[in-house]
A and B are shown apart, each in its own frame.
Chain A
């Protein structure tokens, strides 16, 4: 009786696994196929280089300002969050000798990762946009996005630094160099590839995020941004407007295809540059 039950569980798990695996693969395939097939007729050079046109706005023309806006937001987010993450990771890995403080920072970083993006957007709206007077702009949107990606970046940076420290730290200190010499001449030459990989990973995240931008930076229509304080369009939100106001399903699919293409590009970059942050290397 017991053996039969054991076998039943075993068989059930096996069938479940194979079905689930095939289902997930099918889903991935369907997702990409659907988006690219649906946008086949609309995705061309004009779509990438034109402004939205037609009535209602967006039913014709392209998405050039939205692409530029997204790049702007992502750039600000990347610069802000790279600075914060690099400094935090350097402090925690190389300077901090207080175990309690390290523990506290880990909890803080985990909690930041747990805050939903819409709450960050809410905070950005009241504090950055209204209280500090940045207005609806690339700067406020980018800062909020930076806060959103900061924990992921810091965790990756720390992992890279730990992997390098395991190999070279004892040797370097034995040569009598101080910490900043070690960071500049041993860690950075080894780590820059992985840091670029992390940045492109994080850019992918920031590029696709829409909830934080809804209240802080993105508008329905704007020209390609000229300064940090100008409002801009963002690609994911453009897609959202096209769909929710039923302006054009085809253009929504074409925008989705552009988003996916950018994402694939950033993924390839992440993969090309990744080395030490890779878990395979660690084990």
Chain B
């Protein structure tokens, strides 16, 4: 048994080290983003950060992040608001109309939908939204905030549905017996029991989907047009993540442009981590 004792010690220390390493990686990523954005924050142009013009290469340069920030928020919030009722309805229908294997299969289908790569959604958005929108007289090109909102909404519906369906399922497990004993129909218990009981779960599911939407890059980038304008429903726009994806490859290493992109990334990171923290608080309250 000596062999197993030695092995035990080895595995214990190795796994402790690896789990600590994971902790280091996370802190390192966050710190790295912070440190790389310091040179920009301390430079003389940092004041232009809160302005509307993004001209990183002209002299003097101007790094207005507002169009991107507003574009990101605009697209993500509207997409989540559109997706929310659809997801609540779909999750409600799945949890109250189906049982057993069919329900399991439907939820599997929804999970698979959530796993479809974002470029495929982008392609779809391009084909079924941008192309037809181009033909209408409403706008010059089809690439627009509107197309981005709808594409993104389609993308985040499955995340919301699977979160909500889980919450409804838990309520069903706890109360279904009593509800049935009182002669309450499935639909009635959905409206007046599940929905009322899962308010906090609905909120946290909404926020998780919102954070997915805020961080999404490719699908949005393919349909939004990518020009740094203030977001209008029928005009082009840009988001922080697509700004980083498009310009990082061409920004000179160590230049102000590079550090400004890092600052934009930090802004996005802070936004998402605070939403993440909020979700954690809500879930803790929901458990009580």
Contact = CB atoms under 8 A, between A and B. Distances in A.
Contacts of A168: none
Contacts of A79: none
B52 interface: no
Contact of A240 (B215, B222, B253): B222
A20 B86 contact: yes
A272 interface: no
A172 to B, nearest CB: 13
B7 to A, nearest CB: 5
A66 to B, nearest CB: 12
A9 B191 contact: yes
B207 to A, nearest CB: 11
A239 B16 contact: no
B190 A253 contact: no
A205 B261 CA distance: 26
Interface residues on A, range: 35 or more
Contact of A88 (B19, B86, B217): B19
Contact of B12 (A179, A207, A263): A179
B157 to A, nearest CB: 7
Contacts of A90: 11, 15
Contacts of A108: 22-23, 26
A67 interface: no
B206 interface: no
Interface stretch (B38-46, B60-68, B119-127, B133-141): B119-127
B118 A92 contact: no
Given A18-B93, A105-B22, A147-B25, A116 B214 contact: yes
B71 to A, nearest CB: 15
A118 B244 contact: yes
**Overall SS of chain B's interface:** helix
Contacts of B161: 24
Contacts of A92: 19
Interface string A169-204: 000000001111101000000000000000001001
Interface stretch (A54-62, A209-217, A222-230): A209-217
A18 B214 CA distance: 29
**Overall SS of chain A's interface:** helix
Contacts of B188: 10
Interface string B114-152: 011111101110111000000000000000000000000
Interface residues on B, range: 35 or more
Contacts of B222: 240, 243-244
A14 B187 contact: yes
Given A130-B253, A215-B249, A13 B115 contact: no
A21 B89 contact: yes
Interface in A84-141: 84, 87-88, 90-92, 95-96, 104-105, 107-112, 114-123, 125-127, 130
Contacts of B120: 31, 35, 208, 239, 256, 259-260
Contacts of A259: 117, 119-120
A240 B122 contact: yes
A248 interface: no
Contact of B14 (A31, A35, A87, A110): A87
A123 to B, nearest CB: 5
A278 to B, nearest CB: 9
A122 B265 contact: yes
Contacts of B273: 111, 114-115
Contacts of A73: none
B248 A283 contact: no
Contact of B89 (A20, A35, A121, A253): A20
B187 A243 contact: no
A122 B262 contact: yes
B112 interface: yes
Contact of B123 (A83, A207, A253): A253
Contacts of B23: 104-105, 108
Interface of A: 6, 9-10, 13-14, 16-21, 23-24, 27-28, 31, 34-35, 38, 83-84, 87-88, 90-92, 95-96, 104-105, 107-112, 114-123, 125-127, 130, 147, 150, 177-181, 183, 201, 204-205, 207-211, 214-215, 236-237, 239-240, 243-244, 249, 252-253, 256, 259-260, 263-264, 267, 271, 280, 283
Given A87-B15, A88-B22, 11 more contacts: A10-B187, A13-B191, A20-B87, A28-B113, A34-B128, A88-B15, A114-B272, A118-B268, A150-B22, A236-B218, A252-B123
In the A-B complex, the 4 residue pairs with the closest CB atoms: A116-B215, A208-B117, A20-B89, A87-B18
26 contacts: A17-B93, A19-B89, A20-B90, A21-B90, A21-B93, A34-B124, A84-B22, A87-B18, A88-B15, A95-B12, A105-B23, A114-B275, A114-B276, A117-B217, A121-B245, A122-B248, A130-B253, A183-B11, A210-B117, A210-B218, A243-B126, A253-B123, A260-B116, A263-B112, A264-B112, A267-B112
